[in-house]
A = this chain, B = another copy of it.
Amino acid sequence: MSLVKLPDDVAITGNSKILLLILDGLGGIQHPHFGKTELQAARKPNLDRLASESVCGVLDPVAPGITPGSGPSHMALFGYDPIECNIGRGVLSALGVDFHLTEKDLAARVNFATVDEVGNVVDRRAGRISSETNGRLCSKLARLVELPHDARLFIQTESEHRAVVVFRGEGLSGAISDTDPQRVGVPPEKPEALSQEAKKSSEIVSSFLKQASEILTDEYPANAILLRGFATQRPFKSFYDRFKLKAAAVAKYPMYRGLARLIGMEVLPACEDMDAEIDLIGKELQSFDFFYIHVKKTDSHGEDGKFEDKVKTIELVDSKIPLLLALSPDVLVVTADHSTPSALKAHSWHPVPVLLWAKTCRVDDVVSFDEISCAKGGIGRMPMVHLMSLVLAHAGRLTKYGA
Protein backbone atom coordinates (compact mmCIF):
# COMPACT_ATOMS: atom_id res chain seq x y z
CA MET A 1 0.00 0.00 0.00
CA SER A 2 1.16 3.48 -0.77
CA LEU A 3 2.24 5.76 2.07
CA VAL A 4 -0.10 8.40 0.65
CA LYS A 5 -3.11 6.20 1.44
CA LEU A 6 -1.93 5.26 4.93
CA PRO A 7 -3.99 7.91 6.79
CA ASP A 8 -7.18 6.51 5.25
CA ASP A 9 -6.70 3.29 7.22
CA VAL A 10 -6.26 4.96 10.58
CA ALA A 11 -8.49 8.05 10.35
CA ILE A 12 -11.12 8.43 13.05
CA THR A 13 -13.84 10.99 13.67
CA GLY A 14 -13.54 13.69 16.31
CA ASN A 15 -14.59 17.15 17.40
CA SER A 16 -11.41 19.01 16.58
CA LYS A 17 -11.41 21.96 14.19
CA ILE A 18 -8.80 22.49 11.50
CA LEU A 19 -8.04 25.64 9.52
CA LEU A 20 -5.85 25.35 6.41
CA LEU A 21 -4.91 28.83 5.24
CA ILE A 22 -3.45 28.77 1.74
CA LEU A 23 -1.67 31.84 0.44
CA ASP A 24 -1.50 30.95 -3.23
CA GLY A 25 2.00 31.24 -4.67
CA LEU A 26 3.36 32.48 -1.33
CA GLY A 27 6.92 31.13 -1.68
CA GLY A 28 9.47 33.49 -3.17
CA ILE A 29 13.17 33.95 -3.86
CA GLN A 30 15.30 36.94 -2.99
CA HIS A 31 14.29 39.70 -5.40
CA PRO A 32 17.35 41.23 -7.10
CA HIS A 33 16.15 44.75 -6.39
CA PHE A 34 14.90 44.26 -2.81
CA GLY A 35 17.42 41.63 -1.69
CA LYS A 36 14.77 39.66 0.19
CA THR A 37 11.90 37.27 -0.42
CA GLU A 38 8.44 38.79 -0.09
CA LEU A 39 7.97 36.97 3.24
CA GLN A 40 11.30 38.29 4.52
CA ALA A 41 10.34 41.82 3.54
CA ALA A 42 6.84 41.78 5.04
CA ARG A 43 6.02 43.12 8.52
CA LYS A 44 4.08 40.16 9.88
CA PRO A 45 4.20 40.10 13.67
CA ASN A 46 1.29 37.68 13.96
CA LEU A 47 2.67 35.08 11.58
CA ASP A 48 6.07 35.35 13.23
CA ARG A 49 4.60 34.85 16.69
CA LEU A 50 2.61 31.91 15.36
CA ALA A 51 5.80 30.45 13.87
CA SER A 52 7.53 30.73 17.24
CA GLU A 53 4.78 28.56 18.76
CA SER A 54 4.62 26.11 15.85
CA VAL A 55 6.54 23.47 14.03
CA CYS A 56 7.78 24.78 10.68
CA GLY A 57 9.24 23.37 7.51
CA VAL A 58 9.23 23.49 3.74
CA LEU A 59 7.12 21.36 1.41
CA ASP A 60 7.74 20.13 -2.12
CA PRO A 61 4.40 20.26 -3.95
CA VAL A 62 5.29 17.45 -6.39
CA ALA A 63 9.03 16.76 -6.28
CA PRO A 64 12.26 18.78 -6.06
CA GLY A 65 12.70 20.94 -9.14
CA ILE A 66 9.19 20.37 -10.44
CA THR A 67 7.07 23.49 -11.00
CA PRO A 68 3.45 22.53 -10.47
CA GLY A 69 0.28 23.96 -11.89
CA SER A 70 -2.51 24.75 -9.48
CA GLY A 71 -4.10 21.34 -10.04
CA PRO A 72 -1.30 19.06 -8.81
CA SER A 73 -0.24 21.44 -6.05
CA HIS A 74 -3.76 21.58 -4.62
CA MET A 75 -4.20 17.83 -4.89
CA ALA A 76 -0.96 17.43 -2.90
CA LEU A 77 -2.18 19.95 -0.32
CA PHE A 78 -5.36 17.94 0.10
CA GLY A 79 -3.38 14.70 0.56
CA TYR A 80 -3.94 13.22 -2.90
CA ASP A 81 -1.00 11.89 -4.93
CA PRO A 82 -0.37 14.80 -7.31
CA ILE A 83 0.81 12.53 -10.11
CA GLU A 84 -1.76 9.76 -9.86
CA CYS A 85 -4.51 12.38 -9.38
CA ASN A 86 -3.32 14.80 -12.03
CA ILE A 87 -6.26 16.62 -13.57
CA GLY A 88 -6.50 17.30 -17.30
CA ARG A 89 -6.34 20.87 -18.54
CA GLY A 90 -9.84 20.69 -19.99
CA VAL A 91 -11.25 19.70 -16.64
CA LEU A 92 -9.33 22.44 -14.81
CA SER A 93 -10.60 24.97 -17.35
CA ALA A 94 -14.16 23.78 -16.78
CA LEU A 95 -13.70 24.11 -13.02
CA GLY A 96 -12.33 27.60 -13.68
CA VAL A 97 -15.61 28.75 -15.24
CA ASP A 98 -17.58 27.13 -12.43
CA PHE A 99 -18.91 24.40 -14.69
CA HIS A 100 -20.25 21.48 -12.62
CA LEU A 101 -18.75 18.47 -14.35
CA THR A 102 -20.40 15.07 -14.35
CA GLU A 103 -18.85 11.68 -15.05
CA LYS A 104 -20.27 11.81 -18.57
CA ASP A 105 -18.35 14.95 -19.52
CA LEU A 106 -15.42 15.40 -21.86
CA ALA A 107 -13.90 18.88 -21.48
CA ALA A 108 -11.37 20.81 -23.52
CA ARG A 109 -9.79 24.23 -23.51
CA VAL A 110 -10.89 26.41 -26.45
CA ASN A 111 -8.97 29.15 -28.24
CA PHE A 112 -10.84 31.31 -30.71
CA ALA A 113 -8.33 31.77 -33.54
CA THR A 114 -7.89 33.29 -36.99
CA VAL A 115 -7.34 31.17 -40.11
CA ASP A 116 -6.59 32.51 -43.60
CA GLU A 117 -8.40 31.64 -46.83
CA VAL A 118 -6.51 28.34 -47.27
CA GLY A 119 -7.18 27.36 -43.67
CA ASN A 120 -3.79 28.03 -42.09
CA VAL A 121 -3.73 29.48 -38.59
CA VAL A 122 -2.51 33.08 -38.66
CA ASP A 123 -3.35 34.07 -35.05
CA ARG A 124 -3.82 31.48 -32.29
CA ARG A 125 -5.66 34.08 -30.17
CA ALA A 126 -7.88 35.79 -32.77
CA GLY A 127 -6.37 39.19 -31.89
CA ARG A 128 -7.50 38.66 -28.28
CA ILE A 129 -11.15 39.40 -29.04
CA SER A 130 -13.21 40.94 -26.26
CA SER A 131 -14.90 38.70 -23.70
CA GLU A 132 -18.21 40.10 -25.00
CA THR A 133 -17.54 38.89 -28.53
CA ASN A 134 -16.40 35.59 -27.07
CA GLY A 135 -19.70 35.35 -25.15
CA ARG A 136 -21.74 36.07 -28.26
CA LEU A 137 -19.86 33.43 -30.29
CA CYS A 138 -20.26 30.82 -27.55
CA SER A 139 -24.03 31.42 -27.48
CA LYS A 140 -24.19 31.16 -31.26
CA LEU A 141 -22.30 27.87 -31.29
CA ALA A 142 -24.38 26.44 -28.44
CA ARG A 143 -27.54 27.36 -30.35
CA LEU A 144 -26.59 26.09 -33.79
CA VAL A 145 -24.37 23.03 -33.35
CA GLU A 146 -26.03 19.62 -33.31
CA LEU A 147 -23.84 16.77 -32.10
CA PRO A 148 -24.01 13.13 -33.23
CA HIS A 149 -24.36 10.15 -30.83
CA ASP A 150 -26.94 12.02 -28.72
CA ALA A 151 -24.19 14.08 -27.17
CA ARG A 152 -24.90 17.48 -25.63
CA LEU A 153 -22.74 20.56 -26.05
CA PHE A 154 -21.82 23.19 -23.47
CA ILE A 155 -19.53 26.04 -24.40
CA GLN A 156 -18.65 28.72 -21.92
CA THR A 157 -16.60 31.91 -22.11
CA GLU A 158 -13.48 32.22 -19.98
CA SER A 159 -12.09 35.61 -21.14
CA GLU A 160 -10.76 37.23 -24.34
CA HIS A 161 -10.04 34.36 -26.77
CA ARG A 162 -10.35 31.65 -24.09
CA ALA A 163 -13.36 29.40 -23.60
CA VAL A 164 -14.21 25.90 -22.42
CA VAL A 165 -16.15 23.25 -24.30
CA VAL A 166 -17.83 20.28 -22.65
CA PHE A 167 -19.29 17.32 -24.53
CA ARG A 168 -21.74 15.26 -22.47
CA GLY A 169 -22.55 11.71 -23.52
CA GLU A 170 -22.17 8.03 -22.77
CA GLY A 171 -18.68 6.51 -22.66
CA LEU A 172 -16.66 9.52 -23.72
CA SER A 173 -12.87 9.44 -23.48
CA GLY A 174 -10.16 12.07 -23.12
CA ALA A 175 -7.72 10.15 -25.32
CA ILE A 176 -7.96 12.65 -28.16
CA SER A 177 -5.08 14.64 -29.64
CA ASP A 178 -5.03 18.45 -29.46
CA THR A 179 -6.17 20.33 -32.56
CA ASP A 180 -4.16 23.42 -31.56
CA PRO A 181 -0.95 23.18 -33.66
CA GLN A 182 0.80 25.58 -31.21
CA ARG A 183 2.21 27.58 -34.15
CA VAL A 184 0.98 29.62 -37.11
CA GLY A 185 1.28 28.97 -40.85
CA VAL A 186 -0.22 25.49 -40.64
CA PRO A 187 -3.83 24.28 -40.49
CA PRO A 188 -5.37 23.06 -37.20
CA GLU A 189 -4.68 19.39 -36.47
CA LYS A 190 -7.39 16.73 -36.66
CA PRO A 191 -8.77 15.44 -33.33
CA GLU A 192 -7.39 11.90 -33.53
CA ALA A 193 -8.64 9.10 -31.30
CA LEU A 194 -5.58 7.92 -29.35
CA SER A 195 -7.30 4.71 -28.30
CA GLN A 196 -10.08 2.48 -29.61
CA GLU A 197 -12.41 3.73 -26.84
CA ALA A 198 -11.98 7.33 -27.97
CA LYS A 199 -13.36 6.74 -31.49
CA LYS A 200 -16.87 7.90 -30.65
CA SER A 201 -15.53 10.95 -28.84
CA SER A 202 -13.34 11.92 -31.79
CA GLU A 203 -16.37 11.70 -34.10
CA ILE A 204 -18.31 14.04 -31.83
CA VAL A 205 -15.40 16.48 -31.63
CA SER A 206 -14.83 16.34 -35.40
CA SER A 207 -18.48 17.07 -36.05
CA PHE A 208 -18.35 19.99 -33.61
CA LEU A 209 -15.27 21.46 -35.30
CA LYS A 210 -16.75 21.09 -38.78
CA GLN A 211 -19.95 22.88 -37.79
CA ALA A 212 -18.04 25.53 -35.79
CA SER A 213 -15.90 26.30 -38.81
CA GLU A 214 -19.05 26.98 -40.89
CA ILE A 215 -20.82 28.95 -38.16
CA LEU A 216 -17.76 31.17 -37.55
CA THR A 217 -16.92 31.74 -41.21
CA ASP A 218 -18.05 35.39 -41.15
CA GLU A 219 -16.75 36.12 -37.65
CA TYR A 220 -13.24 37.22 -38.62
CA PRO A 221 -10.88 37.46 -36.70
CA ALA A 222 -12.52 34.70 -34.61
CA ASN A 223 -13.23 32.46 -37.58
CA ALA A 224 -11.85 29.21 -36.15
CA ILE A 225 -11.54 27.16 -33.01
CA LEU A 226 -8.49 25.35 -31.57
CA LEU A 227 -8.93 22.70 -28.87
CA ARG A 228 -6.44 21.24 -26.42
CA GLY A 229 -6.29 19.34 -23.16
CA PHE A 230 -9.17 16.89 -23.75
CA ALA A 231 -9.97 15.34 -20.41
CA THR A 232 -12.66 13.50 -18.48
CA GLN A 233 -12.81 13.36 -14.72
CA ARG A 234 -13.86 10.35 -12.67
CA PRO A 235 -14.63 11.53 -9.14
CA PHE A 236 -11.92 11.05 -6.53
CA LYS A 237 -12.54 9.20 -3.30
CA SER A 238 -13.93 12.02 -1.20
CA PHE A 239 -12.14 13.90 1.53
CA TYR A 240 -14.74 12.61 3.97
CA ASP A 241 -14.40 9.00 2.85
CA ARG A 242 -10.64 9.24 3.13
CA PHE A 243 -10.13 11.33 6.26
CA LYS A 244 -13.55 11.39 7.98
CA LEU A 245 -13.48 15.19 7.82
CA LYS A 246 -16.48 17.33 6.99
CA ALA A 247 -14.69 19.93 4.94
CA ALA A 248 -15.67 23.36 3.66
CA ALA A 249 -13.92 25.50 1.07
CA VAL A 250 -13.70 29.25 1.47
CA ALA A 251 -12.44 30.47 -1.88
CA LYS A 252 -13.40 33.19 -4.28
CA TYR A 253 -12.01 31.91 -7.60
CA PRO A 254 -14.02 29.28 -9.44
CA MET A 255 -11.07 26.98 -10.14
CA TYR A 256 -10.24 26.55 -6.45
CA ARG A 257 -13.91 26.14 -5.61
CA GLY A 258 -14.11 23.50 -8.33
CA LEU A 259 -11.00 21.66 -7.08
CA ALA A 260 -12.50 21.51 -3.60
CA ARG A 261 -15.81 20.28 -5.04
CA LEU A 262 -13.98 17.51 -6.97
CA ILE A 263 -12.97 15.89 -3.67
CA GLY A 264 -16.35 16.42 -2.07
CA MET A 265 -15.75 19.54 0.01
CA GLU A 266 -18.74 21.76 0.50
CA VAL A 267 -18.09 25.09 -1.16
CA LEU A 268 -19.29 28.02 0.94
CA PRO A 269 -20.71 31.16 -0.72
CA ALA A 270 -18.01 33.49 -1.99
CA CYS A 271 -17.32 36.50 0.26
CA GLU A 272 -16.25 40.07 -0.39
CA ASP A 273 -13.08 40.01 1.70
CA MET A 274 -11.20 38.04 4.33
CA ASP A 275 -13.14 39.61 7.22
CA ALA A 276 -16.37 38.31 5.73
CA GLU A 277 -14.77 34.92 5.12
CA ILE A 278 -13.68 34.61 8.75
CA ASP A 279 -17.15 35.69 9.87
CA LEU A 280 -18.65 32.98 7.71
CA ILE A 281 -16.27 30.35 9.10
CA GLY A 282 -17.31 31.37 12.60
CA LYS A 283 -20.94 30.83 11.68
CA GLU A 284 -20.23 27.45 10.06
CA LEU A 285 -17.79 26.24 12.70
CA GLN A 286 -20.19 23.70 14.16
CA SER A 287 -21.10 22.23 10.78
CA PHE A 288 -17.58 21.39 9.59
CA ASP A 289 -14.33 19.92 10.89
CA PHE A 290 -12.01 21.43 8.31
CA PHE A 291 -11.87 24.74 6.47
CA TYR A 292 -9.73 25.34 3.40
CA ILE A 293 -9.22 29.09 3.05
CA HIS A 294 -7.76 30.30 -0.22
CA VAL A 295 -6.04 33.68 -0.73
CA LYS A 296 -5.38 34.35 -4.40
CA LYS A 297 -3.60 37.71 -4.51
CA THR A 298 -0.19 36.53 -3.33
CA ASP A 299 -0.06 34.48 -6.53
CA SER A 300 -1.49 37.14 -8.86
CA HIS A 301 1.01 39.76 -7.64
CA GLY A 302 3.79 37.21 -7.97
CA GLU A 303 2.76 36.44 -11.55
CA ASP A 304 2.70 40.16 -12.31
CA GLY A 305 6.13 40.68 -10.78
CA LYS A 306 4.70 43.06 -8.21
CA PHE A 307 6.98 42.45 -5.23
CA GLU A 308 5.61 45.26 -3.08
CA ASP A 309 1.98 44.35 -3.71
CA LYS A 310 2.69 40.74 -2.77
CA VAL A 311 4.36 41.99 0.43
CA LYS A 312 1.25 44.08 1.17
CA THR A 313 -1.05 41.11 0.67
CA ILE A 314 1.05 39.10 3.13
CA GLU A 315 0.81 41.95 5.63
CA LEU A 316 -2.96 42.15 5.17
CA VAL A 317 -3.33 38.41 5.79
CA ASP A 318 -1.04 38.72 8.80
CA SER A 319 -3.41 41.28 10.30
CA LYS A 320 -6.25 38.72 10.11
CA ILE A 321 -4.41 35.97 12.01
CA PRO A 322 -5.83 37.08 15.39
CA LEU A 323 -9.34 36.72 13.97
CA LEU A 324 -8.54 33.16 12.88
CA LEU A 325 -7.08 32.34 16.30
CA ALA A 326 -10.20 33.76 17.93
CA LEU A 327 -12.10 30.87 16.31
CA SER A 328 -10.09 28.58 18.65
CA PRO A 329 -8.97 26.08 16.04
CA ASP A 330 -7.21 22.94 17.26
CA VAL A 331 -4.91 23.00 14.27
CA LEU A 332 -4.00 26.04 12.18
CA VAL A 333 -1.76 25.59 9.15
CA VAL A 334 -0.42 28.44 7.06
CA THR A 335 1.25 27.51 3.80
CA ALA A 336 1.04 27.79 0.02
CA ASP A 337 0.15 25.54 -2.88
CA HIS A 338 3.36 26.47 -4.71
CA SER A 339 5.87 29.32 -4.99
CA THR A 340 5.34 32.28 -7.32
CA PRO A 341 8.40 34.50 -6.81
CA SER A 342 7.74 38.00 -8.11
CA ALA A 343 11.35 37.95 -9.31
CA LEU A 344 10.33 35.20 -11.75
CA LYS A 345 6.78 36.37 -12.58
CA ALA A 346 5.65 32.73 -12.70
CA HIS A 347 5.00 29.60 -10.66
CA SER A 348 8.27 28.02 -9.58
CA TRP A 349 9.64 24.77 -8.17
CA HIS A 350 10.92 26.22 -4.88
CA PRO A 351 9.50 24.43 -1.85
CA VAL A 352 6.90 26.39 0.11
CA PRO A 353 7.16 27.44 3.75
CA VAL A 354 4.70 25.89 6.18
CA LEU A 355 3.81 26.44 9.81
CA LEU A 356 1.64 24.04 11.77
CA TRP A 357 0.24 25.34 15.03
CA ALA A 358 -1.36 22.93 17.54
CA LYS A 359 -1.10 21.99 21.19
CA THR A 360 0.68 18.76 20.29
CA CYS A 361 3.46 20.46 18.32
CA ARG A 362 7.07 19.76 19.05
CA VAL A 363 7.89 23.45 18.89
CA ASP A 364 11.12 24.20 17.01
CA ASP A 365 13.22 27.36 17.28
CA VAL A 366 11.93 29.08 14.14
CA VAL A 367 10.79 32.61 15.06
CA SER A 368 10.19 34.09 11.61
CA PHE A 369 7.73 32.76 9.06
CA ASP A 370 9.87 32.88 5.93
CA GLU A 371 11.36 30.39 3.50
CA ILE A 372 14.90 30.43 4.94
CA SER A 373 13.87 30.11 8.59
CA CYS A 374 11.26 27.44 7.89
CA ALA A 375 13.79 25.28 6.06
CA LYS A 376 15.54 24.87 9.42
CA GLY A 377 12.35 23.92 11.28
CA GLY A 378 11.18 20.68 12.81
CA ILE A 379 9.21 19.49 9.81
CA GLY A 380 12.35 19.75 7.71
CA ARG A 381 11.71 19.29 3.99
CA MET A 382 8.75 17.06 3.24
CA PRO A 383 6.65 16.09 0.22
CA MET A 384 3.52 18.23 0.41
CA VAL A 385 1.25 15.19 0.05
CA HIS A 386 2.11 14.16 3.64
CA LEU A 387 0.88 17.45 5.14
CA MET A 388 -2.67 16.13 5.59
CA SER A 389 -1.40 13.17 7.66
CA LEU A 390 0.41 15.58 9.92
CA VAL A 391 -2.67 17.80 10.19
CA LEU A 392 -4.88 14.82 11.06
CA ALA A 393 -2.39 13.57 13.65
CA HIS A 394 -2.28 16.93 15.42
CA ALA A 395 -6.08 17.09 15.28
CA GLY A 396 -6.22 13.78 17.18
CA ARG A 397 -7.83 12.12 14.18
CA LEU A 398 -5.41 9.27 13.45
CA THR A 399 -5.25 6.13 15.51
CA LYS A 400 -2.18 3.89 15.87
CA TYR A 401 -0.88 1.97 12.88
CA GLY A 402 -0.02 -1.65 13.61
CA ALA A 403 0.07 -3.46 16.93
Contacts and interface: CB of A to CB of B under 8 A. Distances in A.
Contact of A380 (B30, B88, B92, B380): B380
Given A89-B403, A402-B87, A393 B7 contact: no
A68 interface: yes
Given A63-B6, A402-B68, A380 B375 contact: yes
A375 B29 CA distance: 20
A10 B347 CA distance: 14
Interface string A57-75: 0100011111111111100
A361 interface: yes
A32 to B, nearest CB: 8
B37 A403 contact: no
> How many copies, total?
2
Contact of A65 (B7, B65, B375): B7
Interface in A191-248: 229
Nearest to A344: B360
Contact of A360 (B83, B348, B389, B394): B348
A344 to B, nearest CB: 7
Contact of A381 (B63, B371, B382, B402): B382
Main secondary structure of the interface of A (DSSP, over half): loop
A124 to B, nearest CB: 17
B67 A398 contact: yes
Say which size band chain A's interface belongs to. 35 or more
A52 to B, nearest CB: 12
A378 to B, nearest CB: 5
A360 B386 CA distance: 26
Interface string A1-41: 10100110010000000000000000111100000010000
B382 A378 contact: no
Interface string A361-393: 111110000011001111111100011111111
12 contacts: A3-B83, A30-B363, A65-B386, A65-B389, A68-B401, A69-B402, A72-B402, A73-B402, A86-B402, A349-B393, A371-B378, A372-B378
Interface string A83-107: 1001111001100000000000000
Contacts of A361: 29
